[in-house]
Structure formats: structure tokens, C-alpha cells
Amino acid sequence: MIKFHKNERERVALITNHGYAGPNPPIGNAPDTGGQNVYVNDLAIALEDVGYDVNIYTRGGFPEFDSTHIREGEVMMSDHVKYIYIPGGGDKFLPKEDIAIALSEQVENLYNSINEMAAGLNVKPWDVFEFVNTHYWDAGVLGYKLIERWQADFIFERIREFFGDKLNKSVLDTHYKERHIRAVRHNWQYLIGRLALRSYDVLIDVNDSPTKIHKLCMDVLEQLDPSLRRYSVTLLSRLQRSHWPVFTINKTTVASVAVGHLLADHLNSTGALCPSDIFRLNRHIWTPHSLAPIKERNFMDYSYDRKQHLKFTERKHHERVVCERTPLSVSTSEEVSKTLVSHFNVHPDRIIYFPPCVNTEYRPRSKDECAKGYTSLSIFSNISEEKLKKSKIIIEASRADRTKRKDLVISGFAETINDFEDTYLFVFGGPKNEVYRELQGIIAATPGLEGRAFSVPETIPFDTLVQIFSLADLYVSASEMEGFGMSVLQAASCGVPIVSSRLIPYTNMYLKGIAEIAPVQEPHAYAQAIKNMLGDYDKVKMREELLEASKDFSWKVRVKDLHDAEHEPVIILAEHRHEDYVVRLGEQQENMLGAAHMYRSTFINDNMAEGEQTSTYPSWISKEDPDSKD
């Protein structure tokens, strides 16, 4: 386990890539910057509290929001948490739907940054971090591509150590230079076979018979290690398999695969390069926060013109690959868990439930404790603080994005203003974009709303924001796209009554029977829900129920549970899932070669006699040919 030289803390890496992530993100103002950034920063501080040093990697190389300052270098967030900006994709902000164009350059820069860090610590790059935790699909892509680079480096390192002096240096150097674009991690057995045949200038003609190819391949194997002659019969039987349609098309590829698997078995038997060693390098944990199929379902009834910019097909493809290549996923809601299983075939054993938690500053307060909050509301509305303290305050807080449906909140509130005097609505969140201007237009065009409803695009200081949540009489969210619903959780933690869209996971999981849940796209439903929550009911009981529903969402408790589990979620789980990994890998190779039947691998039996071994590959590439025994 690698530790800092000075403070002996273990390290972890978090990656949150899109938006304006940083130590003080412009929440509710900048595009693509919101609940996920709160989640990652709070998680980092909680990890710090239990003893970790945390590097948070995010996209850089472009200006901060509403600033000319370039996001670059490193910025400390606390004593043991720092942000590291990774450039890629140009010098302009990229919406998360378009950020795929930046990822190839970013993974190169991320890889180089960690390599430089590892060199300074005199360790291997894959040993720098206890684990790598990525957030959302774009960071997930960076995570698995980083891991695959490390695995390719590890494989070549072992090949050089074991066969380096027997392989052609020029051939080996060429393949090493191209290792990150050769998909080394996915079929390293083929790579070894190809290296061996090319190193000895083996040329196979389409008309060569299996017997001739067998002799050419055996000459190579015996030059690499005389003991490999024991594979002779196994190699010949593979080359004679007439039902492989690819064999008649590309005999060199078939020969490379055959030789490579035999060499891989040899390396495995000597302990020089074991599949489990490669797999254990994959300490990647992915937190998707939300998934494309969930969002696509939410937008099912919308026109393609409305939803095409969300690029659901492209996003689903990326999410599918991340799932396939990541040993562990973190679910922040029941809906995410179900979708990982139903749409991406993730085994339930490979999912950890770790919902967003809430900063302890979101708590009930008296009016006297909310002086900054009332002062800010007074400035925004030009209404005296004393009058605001005697009035009903309704709030909504999220960035100015169409998916948040702030228009429904305003329209629903408009239907209630004649029933409740001295009631005011504050809709927080910028930037001053088209959505903000539309909201201003709704307020101006709706009779009675001016002076009662306010759209506030300014970024609110945290110590003021938590007071605004505490002083509110009602929190309303009509959002159609939420991974969890952190703002609703924050309101619940303050004991504030809630009106919520039915598409917010936290509400559906924890607030049924407590919050008013409204259908989407129906302003009248929100109006009725607001009336219900501003009417007569047992407010003391509701506050107790809301606080009860939010009490378990403590970062300190959740992270301590994860930390106390030590390696179990990552390393032990990886070992338990190794069988599934090898089997799936073998099935893919069988399909590629056109074999008639799928196989199931057998693994080492605890009761096996000493010295006895079984292969982690199909019988037709077993490391010892039964006919070759003395």
C-alpha cells in the first residue's frame, strides 16, 4: 500500500470532469455545475477526515465561469484535498453532452500527470492510489481508459522481464510504442503470440497447411523456451480445427492466437504474468449519478427536436462500455441500481449503494439564526426583512436548465397568490441564459406575480444559502432530470416541507407520504400541492418526519463504513469476480474464432493435491498436453 512520505496517508483519486468543478464551484449559476459537484467535494472532505489524501481531477485549460482566469495546475481545497486540472478538448467550456471530444486528449494528459507523480514517489503509477472513483459517464471513460493504459504497461513490463532478450528488440519497441492503441488489455495473449512470430520472421501463406504452420510455430516456441515443446500436440490440434471460418481467411491471426495462449499459460504457470495480476490493477469504482436510459424514459413523450441535443444513444454506448470494464459501480438511488442491472447487465454483487449525503450545516434554525438569509432575500426582493419574517417563503434552487422545469414552479405558484397573501417565491440559480430570460418573461407577463416571485441568478455564499433553506416555509422542485435530488434532501435536512416532481429519486425512496408529489408537466398539480403545503396540517409532525427521513445521510457515517471495509469493496470483490471476468473474456474470444460451443472455465480447487493446477482457459489451450507427458 503506497503512502505519502511525510504524512503516511493513503491516496485516492476522484474524477469529476464536466462543468466548472473546483474547490468553490459556482453552484446554481454555471452550466452543468450542481449537485454532483457538491457530492464530490463533500465526499473528498469525508475521505480526508478518515485519513486519506485526495486528488480530484477535472477538466481544465479554459476560463473559470464569468472570469478570464484559466483553470490550470493544482488548487488546494483543504489540507489533504486538492484539485488538479487536466486540459483537453480546447480552450472553451464544453457542455457535458459534447465533452466526448475532449476525452482522448485528457486521458493522455491524466496518464502523464500520474506518471510524473509516481516517478517522484518512486512507485509504479498503478500503485499511487488505493482506488480511482469516477463520477458520471465522461469521467467513467477517463477512468477505464487510464486503467487499461496501466494494464498495458504492466503486461509489457512482464513480457520484457521474461522474454525480452529472446524477442526482436525492434519489433518489441514498435509494439510498446503503440501499446495504448493496440487494445493490449483485451487480448494480450494474441499480442504475445504476434510478438513471438514477428520476432522470428515467421511468414505464413494462405496456402500453408496446418502441419507446416505447426512446425513454424513450434520452432519459435522452442527457441523461446525448450520446455515449450510439450505443447506440440495441443498446438497442432488447434491448427487443425477445420470449423474455424477465419482460419482459411487469416492463418497468421489464428497462429498468433494459438501461440499466444500457449505462451500465456506458460507465463501463468511460472507466475510471471497471471490474469489475476492484470485484473487486480483495475481498482476503478464508477459512480454514474444518473444513466441515459433513466433520462431517456423521462423524456419519452417529448419530441426529438427537444431531446436530440441530449445525445442519449452516444451516452448509452459510453455507459455500456464503462460498465463492462469496471469491477465496481456505486449506485446513488434504487433507480440507478435497477438500470445498471436491467440495461447494462451489471451483476448485483458489483454494485454498492452509496447515496449523496448532506452537509451538516443544512439543519433547522430559528429565525434569529437566519439573519444573513433574510438580508439577502430583502436585497433580492426589495421587501423589508421584518415583513419577510412575517411572510411565507417558498424557494427552489437549481441551475437555469430546462430540465429543472422552474417554469412549472412559477406557474403553479401563480395560481396560489390570491389564496395566500404575503407569500413569496424565490427561484435561485443562473446563469443569465435563455432559460433565465424566459422565467423573467413569465413573471412579467403573469398578472400579480411581479413583486411576489423572483428569479435570482446570483451565486449565493454557502453560509447564506444554508440559512435561506432553513428559513423557508416550503421547498418546491419540478425537476425532470435528477440522479438523486440533493436539493430536496437538503431541504428535508432543514425540516422544510416539500413539493416534489415524481421523477426525483430521493422523494420516491424516502418521502412518500411526507412530501407532496406532483406529476410532471402539470402546473395545476403543483398549484394544488403548494396550497396543500401552505394550508393547515401538523407542521411539527411533518418536520419530525422529514428530519427522520434525512438523518442517515451523513457523510461521516457513510464514508467511515466504506473505509472500515478496507479492501473488500475493491480488491477482495475483484478476486471474487475474477472467475466471471475470465469466463466472459474467454466467451468473447470463442465467438471471435467461431468455435462451436461456449465454454466454462474451471478454477483452482482448494482440496487439490499440492503441485496440481488447473487452467483458467478452455481445454483446447490447456497448458499441458496430456499426450506429451513422459
DSSP letters for 574-629? HHHTHHHHHHHHHHHHHHHHT-SS--------TTPPTT----SS-GGG-SS-GGG-
How does strand 328-331 pair with strand 284-287?
Answer: parallel
- At position 62, the amino acid (one-letter code) is F
Over residues 552-595, the pLDDT tens digits come to 888 887 887 666 654 444 444 444 443 444 444 444 444 433 33
Neighbours of 310 (CB within 10 A): 18
Average pLDDT over residues 322-345: 93
Which pLDDT score is estimated for 563? 64
Which pLDDT score is estimated for 301? 79
Which pLDDT score is estimated for 566? 43
Neighbours of 119 (CB within 10 A): 11
Mean residue pLDDT of the chain comes to 85
The answer to whether residue 320 scores a pLDDT higher than 60 is yes
Determine the CATH number of domain 10-147+281-353: 3.40.50.2000
Q: Quick one: what percent of the chain has pLDDT higher than 90?
A: 61
Q: What are phi and psi of 302, to 5 degrees?
A: -90, 155
Q: What are phi and psi of 394, to 5 degrees?
A: -110, 135
Q: Quick one: what percent of the chain has pLDDT higher than 70?
A: 86
Q: Does domain 367-553 have CATH number 2.60.40.650?
A: no
Task: Output Rg (C-alpha) for the chain, integer angstroms.
Answer: 29
Which pLDDT score is estimated for 574? 42
Q: For residue 300, name the pLDDT band (cuts at 50, 70, 90).
A: confident
Over residues 161-185, the pLDDT tens digits come to 999 899 999 999 998 999 998 878 7
The answer to whether residue 598 scores a pLDDT higher than 50 is no
How does strand 474-477 pair with strand 498-501?
Answer: parallel
Over residues 607-625, the pLDDT tens digits come to 333 443 333 333 333 333 3
The least confident of 33-47, 545-559, 599-613 is 599-613
Place of cell 426589495: 382
Q: Which residue has the higher pLDDT, 554 or 125?
A: 125
Which pLDDT score is estimated for 104? 96
Which pLDDT score is estimated for 581? 40
Which pLDDT score is estimated for 499? 96
CA distance 463 to 156: 52
The least confident of 120-129, 304-313, 400-409, 538-547 is 304-313
In terms of DSSP H, where are the helices of 207-311?
210-224, 232-239, 251-270, 275-280, 292-298, 304-307
Q: Which of 222, 238, 241 is nearest to 230 (CA)?
A: 222
Average pLDDT over residues 260-266: 91
The answer to whether residue 258 scores a pLDDT higher than 50 is yes
Q: Which residue has the higher pLDDT, 247 or 174?
A: 174
Average pLDDT over residues 434-463: 94
Which pTM was predicted?
0.79
Over residues 224-243, the pLDDT tens digits come to 999 999 989 888 887 776 44
The answer to whether residue 280 scores a pLDDT higher than 70 is yes
Which pLDDT score is estimated for 248? 56
Average pLDDT over residues 40-57: 94
Q: Which residue has the higher pLDDT, 1 or 405?
A: 405
- At position 149, the amino acid (one-letter code) is R
Which pLDDT score is estimated for 85? 98
Which pLDDT score is estimated for 467? 97
**Residues 143/590/180/21 CA torsion (nearest 10 deg):** -10
Average pLDDT over residues 334-344: 94
**Domain map (residue ranges) of the chain:** 10-147+281-353, 153-279+584-628, 367-553
Average pLDDT over residues 372-378: 97
Over residues 83-108, the pLDDT tens digits come to 999 999 999 999 999 999 999 999 99
Over residues 416-448, the pLDDT tens digits come to 999 998 999 999 988 888 999 999 999 999 999
The answer to whether residue 458 scores a pLDDT higher than 90 is no
Over residues 467-479, the pLDDT tens digits come to 999 999 999 999 9
The least confident of 166-175, 271-280, 295-304 is 295-304
Q: What are phi and psi of 59, to 5 degrees?
A: -70, 135
Which pLDDT score is estimated for 608? 36
CA 115 to chain centre: 22
- Return the axis-axis angle of helices 251-270 and 188-199, rounded to nearest 10°: 110
